[in-house]
A and B are shown apart, each in its own frame.
Chain A
């Protein structure tokens, strides 16, 4: 007789108790698996949504060492927001570098869009001047100014700057803009309203979101228009770069820095990623909390089942000791039984978990849920089951191994 056959026979000894224990643990495993499938789906879909077209890094004026100051470099121009500008020809040059899928020039500035002189109008008037930092400020206003970002980018390249239109459409002409969700809220603007920037009126055709507080408090217009408005024709604040498939973005950034070592530097814009990560961290934390709770409940189920089993078999354990079994073998037997019990529960739990999530997905009970199966998740479910078996089996096994043979043999 093999030792493992003994474990299996012991589990099937009390079928009702074992079945209930398996069901209890299986529900725990199913919960963990179900949560994992949904969390993975959320992670995948969020990541896809936010990073599918976003730039891998941006190129700005400056030196790799972090110093370098503002002026004096070839190609440097005026500086909205105190930032040294880059000649737009660099966009074309970078686009030619091997491994670059797309390079897009972006001009950024800040402007006060509050309209205190014409509050009844849906348009916002402002007499824009260039302040010492190059911002398009509103002159002669004593009130506290709230600055808004103005981004100039071609409408076909919005996704590279993490700009997602949540309502309306992208701008298609130079007198159209899209407005960030926060700016729309604070300025009480919506699609169809107009907004005045530098004495020019623009129609709002869309509302966007980036996840970045600063960018969401602003407007986006065509690059050419903003260059004209700010008098920075042919200049951009930064160049967004997306690496080709299979190209390592970090290596590509290093190549660009090496090529323009005294002129340009790169930085990774993580606003979207940060937001995604924060959101996912919350989801994952909640998932972990449920997992831990499930582990706790599962462990208790195993402990109760195995303690009952040990108590019922007290005299038998006494006999096993009398015939020469070591405490270690008895310990192994009880933990082995609880692990086998948990593994059976894992199989049942996986079937239940996958089944329930598939049903939810197919029946569209929770819209948008598409279970993301991964071998790691199933491995995790099995590992959790083994862990449950070991944790739950330790106490009853220890108790059994420490039984005094004479007391065990006297047990009624």
Chain B
């Protein structure tokens, strides 16, 4: 990367579907600094989630360059270690594993690391307590409210101490009051941990909370 303070550098990034008939990303150029809180705004189909997936190495671009936390994501390699160490995903639908307890769900990302079993439990429970979920560690996700589930999902995203949190409409499935609580938690984490936070939303008031607001339209930054 050219600039040491940039954790993400994207140049002329393109991604098409249906053999290039539909361009989800059509020449994105973007730099995000370490510890920055950025919101990605735009209507449905503007390319917000696609860009987030590119940054998280869940998908691969067709053209351009993308460097995240020192990794060149255009290289053909397995980026599971990158995702495990550097990225914390939060989805609109929490995507918790229903047959695992709250604590076990948070421990899932650590199974791919060298963390010892006891340490896993300790670390997961500590994070859950910080998210006011300490009283729910042995409960199954089905017994939790939407807001509680999303807090567990936040715990799961944070447990490996990632440098970047990618949140794809984290309040999209919540009522406004619960959504505000989740946003407050995310903002606190960003401030306390100095973690880079990229938040996809189509709610303008949510986008305004970020240090920087990026608007996407038809696969381009507008």
Answer whether A and B are interacting partners: yes
Contacting residues, chain B, for A2 (C-beta < 8 A): 117
Q: A320-B108, A405-B58, A409-B58 are in contact. Are A325 and B80 (CB under 8 A)?
A: yes
The answer, yes or no, to whether B104 is at the interface (CB within 8 Å) is yes
CB distance from B41 to the nearest CB of A (A): 21
Would you call A1 and B107 a contact (CB within 8 A)?
A: yes
Q: Which of A365-385 contact B (CB under 8 A)?
A: none
Would you call B59 and A6 a contact (CB within 8 A)?
A: no
Would you call A1 and B121 a contact (CB within 8 A)?
A: yes
Contacting residues, chain B, for A404 (C-beta < 8 A): 59
Q: Across the two chains, which residue of chain A brings its CB closest to B168? A: A409
Q: A1-B107, A323-B109 are in contact. Are A12 and B84 (CB under 8 A)?
A: no
Residues 369-412 of A, flagged 1 when their CB comes within 8 A of B and 0 if not, give: 00000000000000000000000000000000000111001000
The answer, yes or no, to whether A316 is at the interface (CB within 8 Å) is yes
Would you call B83 and A323 a contact (CB within 8 A)?
A: yes
The answer, yes or no, to whether A13 is at the interface (CB within 8 Å) is yes
Q: For the side of the interface on A, what is the size category?
A: 20 to 34
- Roughly how many angstroms separate A243 CA and B201 CA in the complex, as a whole number? 91
- Roughly how many angstroms separate A53 CA and B80 CA in the complex, as a whole number? 69
CB distance from A9 to the nearest CB of B (A): 5
Would you call B80 and A409 a contact (CB within 8 A)?
A: no
Q: Which of A39-95 contact B (CB under 8 A)?
A: none
Contacting residues, chain A, for B191 (C-beta < 8 A): none
Q: A1-B120, A1-B121, A316-B95 are in contact. Are A329 and B104 (CB under 8 A)?
A: no
The answer, yes or no, to whether A122 is at the interface (CB within 8 Å) is no
Q: Across the two chains, which residue of chain B brings its CB closest to A329? A: B112
Would you call A324 and B81 a contact (CB within 8 A)?
A: yes
The answer, yes or no, to whether B48 is at the interface (CB within 8 Å) is no
Would you call A321 and B80 a contact (CB within 8 A)?
A: yes
- Roughly how many angstroms separate A99 CA and B90 CA in the complex, as a whole number? 82
Would you call B99 and A324 a contact (CB within 8 A)?
A: no
**Contact of B78 (CB < 8 Å), options: A1, A10, A13, A326:** A326
**Contact of B84 (CB < 8 Å), options: A3, A6, A315, A323:** A323
Would you call A1 and B91 a contact (CB within 8 A)?
A: no
Q: Which of B100, B156, B160 has the most CB of A within 10 A?
A: B100
Contacting residues, chain A, for B83 (C-beta < 8 A): 321-324
Residues 1-19 of A, flagged 1 when their CB comes within 8 A of B and 0 if not, give: 1110010011011000000
Would you call B160 and A324 a contact (CB within 8 A)?
A: yes
Residues 73-85 of B, flagged 1 when their CB comes within 8 A of A and 0 if not, give: 0000010111111
Q: A10-B99, A321-B80, A324-B83 are in contact. Are A329 and B111 (CB under 8 A)?
A: yes
The answer, yes or no, to whether A327 is at the interface (CB within 8 Å) is yes
Would you call A322 and B104 a contact (CB within 8 A)?
A: no
The answer, yes or no, to whether A354 is at the interface (CB within 8 Å) is no
Q: Which of B80, B89, B98 has the most CB of A within 10 A?
A: B80
Contacting residues, chain A, for B100 (C-beta < 8 A): 1, 6, 9
Residues 247-290 of A, flagged 1 when their CB comes within 8 A of B and 0 if not, give: 00000000000000000000000000000000000000000000
- Roughly how many angstroms separate A13 CA and B82 CA in the complex, as a whole number? 30
Q: Across the two chains, which residue of chain B brings its CB closest to A404? A: B59
Residues 32-62 of B, flagged 1 when their CB comes within 8 A of A and 0 if not, give: 0000000000000000000001001011000
Contacting residues, chain A, for B181 (C-beta < 8 A): none
- Roughly how many angstroms separate A327 CA and B83 CA in the complex, as a whole number? 13
Q: Across the two chains, which residue of chain A brings its CB closest to B121? A: A1
The answer, yes or no, to whether A304 is at the interface (CB within 8 Å) is no
- Roughly how many angstroms separate A3 CA and B81 CA in the complex, as a whole number? 18
Would you call A319 and B53 a contact (CB within 8 A)?
A: no
The answer, yes or no, to whether B144 is at the interface (CB within 8 Å) is no
- Roughly how many angstroms separate A403 CA and B140 CA in the complex, as a whole number? 26
- Roughly how many angstroms separate A327 CA and B160 CA in the complex, as a whole number? 19
Would you call A3 and B111 a contact (CB within 8 A)?
A: yes
Q: Across the two chains, which residue of chain B brings its CB closest to A410? A: B49
The answer, yes or no, to whether B209 is at the interface (CB within 8 Å) is no
- Roughly how many angstroms separate A171 CA and B120 CA in the complex, as a whole number? 85
Contacting residues, chain B, for A326 (C-beta < 8 A): 78, 80-81, 112
Would you call B95 and A315 a contact (CB within 8 A)?
A: yes
Knowing that A1-B104, A6-B111, A323-B112 are A-B contacts, what are 16 other residue pairs whose CB atoms are under 8 Å apart, sorted by A's residue number?
A1-B120, A1-B121, A320-B108, A322-B56, A322-B83, A322-B87, A323-B83, A323-B89, A324-B82, A324-B112, A325-B84, A326-B80, A326-B81, A327-B80, A406-B58, A406-B59
**Selected A-B contacts with CB under 8 Å, 12 pairs:** A1-B104, A1-B108, A1-B121, A6-B104, A10-B99, A323-B108, A324-B81, A326-B78, A404-B59, A406-B53, A406-B58, A406-B59
Question: What 7 pairs across the A-B complex have the smallest Cβ distances?
Answer: A324-B84, A323-B109, A405-B58, A324-B83, A326-B80, A13-B99, A319-B95
